[in-house]
Amino acid sequence: MTYHNPVLLKECIEGLKIRPDGVYVDVTFGGGGHSRKILEQLGDKGKLIAFDQDKEAMKNIPDDKRILFINQNFMYLQNSLRMHGIAKVDGILADLGVSSHQFDTGERGFSIRFEGALDMRMNQQATLTAANVVNEYDGMALSKIFRLYGEIENFRRLSDTIVNARTENPIETTLQLKEIITPVAPKHAEHKYFARVFQALRIEVNKEMEVLEEFLKQSLNVLNNEGRLVVISYHSLEDRLVKNFIKSGNTEGAIEKDFFGKITRPFELINKKPIVPGEEEINENNRARSAKLRIAEKI
């Protein structure tokens, strides 16, 4: 099984502007596709630090003394680097979202294509699962998740449908959930609707927006001047946070000025508009279709 086909690989590596003796971080190691390409660009004195909270990813670590693998969520970027005596780095790569391997492993519960337990934990040691969310959150909390994280229009009807269904039996599998919400899904657009519902649950289970916000703040602290931040996002919520942070240094996008009224920017944009995959890459890897790549250099 293909673990993960690295998206926008050439563009990411070019965006990092790798120095052979530099220190780089891949905070979403996964199948190691991006990491291997970074290692190819590094010399003997270069170093790569790779993060992944999913223990499955450890099977993909290359036998290379220049790589340090940290089995940890990238929201702990700064502390983890400090623990290994690393204060500053020259580039950080983040390929957000779920790996192909996680999607294709039915029992992980990420995919609408396979039946599996309502799990959706990226870190399998974590306690909160999608089943907990679906069966234990009240209607108001579910509505909020579906509205914010799934951008679903009939979020109240959706949450009411789930709350009513679970009074009879707990909702335990992906197939059960799909069957329950099919009546409220728009006709001829069920697939997209299910994908948004699953996305919303996954974001809540893994606290993805909070993690991304924390990571972005820490990236500014650990990057050297002229260090590069390279981020691939897959939905508008992620992309908005990344875009705002690169533009302003905060996730709200609020422009700040110094004492003299000059705009203070932490980053210089390397690409004004996001880089998206070409037709050829999308044909080879359908999961690349929604990818947006933003590259910035710390000033």
User: Tell me, what CATH number does 155's domain have?
Assistant: 1.10.150.170
Same domain, 174 and 127: yes
In angstroms, the Cα distances linking 17 to 160, 170, 176, 296, 297 are 50, 51, 47, 11, 10
Same domain, 27 and 85: yes
Residue 107: is its pLDDT beyond 80? no
Question: What value does the mean pLDDT of the chain take?
Answer: 94
In angstroms, the Cα distances linking 144 to 79, 137, 150 are 32, 11, 9
Last residue of a domain, one of 206, 236, 256: 206
* Structure confidence by residue, pLDDT tens digits, 247-260: 999 999 998 888 88
Last residue of a domain, one of 206, 234, 267: 206
Which stretches of the chain are assigned E, i.e. beta strand?
Answer: 23-26, 47-51, 67-70, 89-95, 223-233, 256-257, 263-264, 267-269, 292-298
Task: Assess contact for 39 and 25: CB atoms under 8 A.
Answer: no
Number of domains in the chain: 2
* Structure confidence by residue, pLDDT tens digits, 53-78: 988 899 999 999 999 999 999 999 99
Same domain, 126 and 263: no
**Taking phi first (over 0 means left), then psi (-120 to 50 degrees means alpha), and beta for anything else, what does residue 164 get?**
alpha
In a domain, 229, yes or no: yes
What pLDDT sits at residue 105?
A: 66
In a domain, 202, yes or no: yes
Q: Which domain holds residue 236?
A: 9-100+208-298
Same domain, 84 and 218: yes
Last residue of a domain, one of 181, 206, 231: 206
Same domain, 76 and 215: yes
In angstroms, the Cα distances linking 187 to 140, 182, 184, 192 are 25, 9, 9, 11
The encoded tokens of residue 71 equal: 């089995």
What residues have CB less than 8 Å from 288, skipping those under 6 apart? 5, 7, 8, 277, 281, 282
The encoded tokens of residue 177 equal: 């959930």
* DSSP assignment string, 108-160: G---SSS--BS---SSTT-S--HHHHHHHS-HHHHHHHHHHHS--TTHHHHHH
Residue 167: is its pLDDT beyond 60? yes
Same domain, 201 and 255: no
Model pTM score: 0.92
In a domain, 1, yes or no: no
Same domain, 53 and 89: yes
In angstroms, the Cα distances linking 76 to 53, 115, 146, 170 are 11, 33, 27, 34
